[in-house]
Structure 1
Amino acid sequence: MKHIKTIFIIGLFAIAFSSCDRDLPYPLDDVKRGVAIDVTRVEGTDGVLNAGTTEGNYKIKLQIPSQQGDYSYMKNAELMCVYTNAAKEIKTVIVEDQITTFPVEITLNMEKICQQLGIASPELGDNMSFTANVVLNNGFVVPGWTSEMGYNNKLFTGWQIGSRTYSYRVSYTAFCPFIEENFIGPAICNEDGTEYPVNVTALADGDLPESLPEGISESDLFGVLITDIWDTGGTLKVWINKVDYSLIIPAQMVCAGWYQGLDFWLGYYTPATNAQASTCDNALSFTLSADVPDAGGGFGDVSYLITVTGE
């Protein structure tokens, strides 16, 4: 793994000087201009699904960031639920359509949504993620998610909206009880399909991110330190939000002087996305960019799954 990454960093310098005169891998005429709609959970409402029941207080806020600029070519938006059951089977339904006013808060009728999905109620391991479709004036629908591309608008996660970054979805999962000790100990890191051992320890009380996202307090967080990440002895700090089990992973240097004196970072160019703790599997999953800022680039987005084995 180390040798492969060393080869990649050498290639990084070559890429910087290579030609950009290349054809796109798809017809430019087929590209449709969408609208980046920010999707967040309303503060104070439930952040997880209740297994075995449709009860709960679920509200989502949609707004259009100022960075978007003109969006007069959009007719309306739709709120779509992407449902994944414990067997990893996926189904989508539109839970709200004809959304034309922004910002807007939408109350989720969980009983109705479950009826649309053909289930009685969420069960342990089920996930419901909500994202926005954009309907253009000509009737074309720019989906917020498809099975081929995953979630749309992930490139805009660097946009700053108040004290947080742009969010393209809200995710609710039916979790097992959260036990802090289950997220501490020896673990296996799956890094884009390559596995190697790491270790996870608890951060000291008071060791917190420099800034907290809007609506999150210090008492909501449980911090851990992952050591030996990137297969180089690197370290990464991660905070679990105990309200909805999302993860806070600020951009950070994980290995000083990694290659020829260059520091290696995670999340320098692209903040963490799909960042979630699984209390049933004692696992942390996230995607962020692997970067060498002093070299002017990096390796693009890398997906991680950290599973604590306790052995």
Structure 2
Amino acid sequence: MRPILMDADVMSEPRNLIEVEDLRTHFFTDEGVVKAVDGVAFTIPAGKTVCVVGESGSGKSMTGRSILNMIPYPGRILEGAVKWRPNRAEPTNLLSLDPKGKAIRAIRGNDIALISQEPMAALSPVHTIGNQMVETIRLHLGKGKAEARERAAAMLAKVGIPKPELRLDQYAFQLSGGMRQRVCIALAVACEPKLLIADEPTTALDVTTQANILDLFQELGDDLGVSILFITHDLGVVAEIADQVVVMYLGQVVEQGPVEQIFHDPLHPYTRALLGSVPRVARGRAKRLNTIRGMVPSPFDRPHGCLFHPRCDLFEAGLCDQSVPPLQRYGDDRTARCFKAGGAG
């Protein structure tokens, strides 16, 4: 497939809820600069689920937090734009808003909600589930206390929690891990957000609970029309829920496209390596699990040229280790950042 060199990292489309353009978030430490997010660009269409996938250290979580302009010290968003278009009006660049100001706080939790990986860190240990949910609903929706409690109970029931009225008066430590994660999801959707950012929400759960939570996300997308940015390292999860996939490596997007094309015709060697390392039930004689050779480099010692070249089976000396491959478009809705995308010689 012949690539088309892109003039910009992202192409605007009117149906996109979020357009991330050339996003750069760096951390300035005593050891050096960590380029956690380095020129990232992708879109989140309205009503779709976009999965961001990659190994630990690829910048997935920082990308999600950058969209909300929630970067902890010593990190800073240096460049880029996050164009928020909840309707057909002109988009708002979320990065142009004061990260502690009233405008961005009105969007967080109301229009865009974040679900973290660890619910015990997200839920207060000294307040009941009901107190936390009621406060959020009253703050964002302006409802009275009784009405807010009624809505909180309805949201708990919506996410499959039995006896919701009883759970409202309990504390987080009294619930199982799966129940706590459901509470976090109920808390996130209580104000009817247009976008959910889910950061590894099923990693700490057992397989059965994980499957139930994934079913819940799909139901929320179908029933409420919520767009979802799902951050994960699990390609099994991606295959189950994604409409589109964004593959990241060392802070850069190396490939993106529709989930069917990514899984059946991956263009980037890193994407192919990730897919090849997924465990499969082998018939007959047991086979050794495929792995990606080497390790993700230290963020303080990033390779020259293509960031993946030290681990790439298609490495070409003098090219891959000297020049940064441009982001190229393949067809209408696929991009890849590789000189040898698709295995070309």
Relative contact order (C-alpha < 8 Å, sep 6+): which is higher? Answer: 2
Between Structure 1 and Structure 2, the one with more helix by share is 2
Report if TM-score (shorter chain) is over 0.5: no
When normalised by structure 2's length, the TM-score is: 0.25
When normalised by structure 1's length, the TM-score is: 0.27
Between Structure 1 and Structure 2, the one with more strand by share is 1
